[in-house]
Amino acid sequence: MRALLWRLLYPVAVLIHRLTGQPPPRPPFDERRAAALVGKYVLIGLTYHDADGRFLEQRQIHGMIVGADAQHGIEVELKGASSGETYRLPPDLRPLQPAAPGEYRLRATGEVVIDPDLLCTWSVTKPRT
């Protein structure tokens, strides 16, 4: 019940924080769901924008989720062209969605990821310097 209530009220909290110029509160983090993500293969789409919202670049990465907690976020051990690197996603489970079975071809590298467990996309806005 608490999670449902938070899911309904969170968008209102985000709107209030945007109007006041304050950063929004962190979304709720489900530790049980996070623990179940460890060992899953994820395909991540990243879109970067400058501080004015103009498109900069898109990137796709993939790998195995090796850790997930509310304080450090979701740790992904990358595979393919980025093998050997670790990427950390924010501690927000909402963008992670089950992937349909099949082949996913990455535009930039031409790599093919077969049957990932999860998909997620993120939009990253660079801060003003």
pLDDT digits 0-9 by tens, 65-124: 999 999 999 999 999 999 999 999 999 998 999 999 999 999 989 999 999 999 999 999
**CA 125, CA 51: separation in Å to the nearest integer?**
6
| Between 122 and 12, residue with greater pLDDT | 122
Task: Quote the percentage of the chain above a pLDDT of 90.
Answer: 67
Beta partners for 60?
Answer: 45
pTM as predicted: 0.80
Q: At a CB cut-off of 8 Å and minimum separation 6, what does 29 contact? A: 69, 70, 91, 92, 93
